[in-house]
Amino acid sequence: MDWGLQNRLFRMINPVTRRTVMLACDHGYFMGPTHKLENPRRTIEPLVSYADALAVTRGVLRTSVDATWRVPILLRMSGGSSILSEDLSDEGVISSFKDALRLNVSAVALSIFVGTRHEKQTLLNLGKLVDLGNEYGMPVVAITAVGKELEKRDARYLGLACRLAAEIGSHLIKTYYCTGFDKIVDSSLVPLVVAGGPRLEKESDVFQLVYDAIHDGAAGVDIGRNIWQHNAPIAMIRSIRAIVHEGATVREALQMFEENRVNHGNVMKAVTVD
Ligand code: 5RP
């Protein structure tokens, strides 16, 4: 891996733990003003210092993220459909590579929709982005998207999607956690980070997901809704960090959550005004 590409990658991945906690705030590109992300700055600002990287579109980056904040950016480059479309897989590339360089981002991300009508176009988009990424030293993160079909999140499907992404040349892959995840890690050739998905019922469910993902070999997580849709988002991300970077158990993460929920009460109130 060339120096520039490696350097950008290790802005997002802690070089000591070799893991990462990314904060995902790129939902608006197809979901619009998602609950608790209506005003991205209000959501992101209190959390940004706890994130190893921030996943956003260029629109959110330019309007809602200060250039002075010391957070590496994972720029979402794919889009073109909305939550109102029948088929979310009809995506293209929505930002130029030149703009990604101008924005000085640490990596670019693009969704692939394996097994859908638009499988081919999303895989070819990934190939083109990887060519540019290799040329300019920019890591490319493939996202194995499932659209509205959340039930697709099983080892057979995700193992296939991750391997395709790796064969096309992705430097990192964002996917979902599932039973048999260790086998997906083994066959995916490049590091995997796990997305959170829709809100889980209990804090312990989130911490268990993170714990299992890390223990099955994930290089980290890229979580959005299970952090910022929670009424104690700072306490959530701090406990997630403890699992990912400090080897905390689910029980320790829960204990820490209860302590931080009290200590950060005022800050969280400001973040969670509906
Ligand atoms: C949105 C995404 C998100 O970044 C990804 O799903 C992670 O966020 P969440 O934890 O809320 O699922 O790709 O399109």
List pLDDT tens digits, range 104-140: 999 999 999 999 999 999 999 999 999 999 999 999 9
- Percent of the chain scoring above 90 in pLDDT: 91
For residue 274, pLDDT beyond 70: no
**In-domain check, residue 193:** yes
Query: 224 C-alpha to center of ligand 1: Å?
Result: 6
Helix (H) / strand (E) containing 76: strand 73-76
pLDDT for the residue numbered 76: 98
Instruction: Please indicate whether residue 174 is annotated as part of the active site.
Output: yes
Structure confidence at residue 264 as a pLDDT band (50, 70, 90): low
**In-domain check, residue 117:** yes
- Percent of the chain scoring above 70 in pLDDT: 96
Query: 121 C-alpha to center of ligand 1: Å?
Result: 21
Atom number of ligand 1 nearest to Cα 29: 14
**Does ligand 1 lie within 6 Å of residue 225's CB atom?**
yes
**In-domain check, residue 89:** yes
Query: 27 C-alpha to center of ligand 1: Å?
Result: 6
pLDDT for the residue numbered 271: 45
Range of the domain at 129: 3-202+220-227
pLDDT for the residue numbered 272: 42
**Does ligand 1 lie within 6 Å of residue 217's CB atom?**
no
Atom number of ligand 1 nearest to Cα 196: 10
Instruction: Using alpha carbons, list the distances in angstroms from residue 138 to 128, 131, 158.
Output: 13, 10, 24
pLDDT digits (tens, 9 = 90+) for 172-228: 999 999 999 999 999 999 999 999 999 999 999 999 999 999 999 999 999 999 999
**In-domain check, residue 96:** yes
What CATH number corresponds to the domain at position 44? 3.20.20.70
pLDDT digits (tens, 9 = 90+) for 52-79: 999 999 999 999 999 999 999 999 999 9
**In-domain check, residue 209:** no
Instruction: Using alpha carbons, list the distances in angstroms from residue 110 to 36, 60, 215, 245, 257.
Output: 23, 16, 26, 26, 32
Report pTM. Answer: 0.94
Report, as an integer, the average pLDDT of 243-261: 97
Query: 145 C-alpha to center of ligand 1: Å?
Result: 9
Angle between helices 203-215 and 250-263 (to 10 degrees): 130
Among 152, 174, 183, 202, the one annotated catalytic: 174
Number of other residues whose CB lies within 10 A of the CB of residue 85: 13
Q: How many domains does the chain have?
A: 1
**In-domain check, residue 256:** no
**In-domain check, residue 207:** no
**In-domain check, residue 66:** yes
